[in-house]
Amino acid sequence: MKNLSMNTLILAVSIALVVAAASVGGLFGIGDWYRTLVKPSWNPPNWIFGPVWSTLYLMMAVAAWLIWLKRGARPVGLALGLYAVQLALNAAWTAVFFGAHQMGWAFAEIALLDALILACVVTFWPVNRSAALMMVPYFAWVSFASALNFTLWRLNA
Any domain includes 79: yes
Distances (CA, A) of 122 to 11, 78, 97, 152: 22, 11, 27, 30
CB burial string 112-135: b at 16+ within 10 A, e below: ebbebbbbbbebbeebbeebbebb
Domain count, the chain: 1
Any domain includes 41: no
Question: Which CATH number is 109's domain given?
Answer: 1.20.1260.100
Any domain includes 145: yes
- pLDDT score at 1: 58
Any domain includes 42: no
Residue 16's domain comprises 2-36+48-155
Confidence band, pLDDT 50/70/90 cuts, at residue 2:
low
Any domain includes 21: yes
Give per-residue pLDDT as tens, 81-120: 999 999 999 999 999 999 999 999 999 999 999 999 999 9
Confidence band, pLDDT 50/70/90 cuts, at residue 6:
confident
Q: Average pLDDT over the chain, rounded to whole? A: 93
> H/E element holding 76?
none
Q: Which of 106, 129, 92, 114 lies closest to 34, judged by CA?
A: 106
Residue 78: what residue type?
L
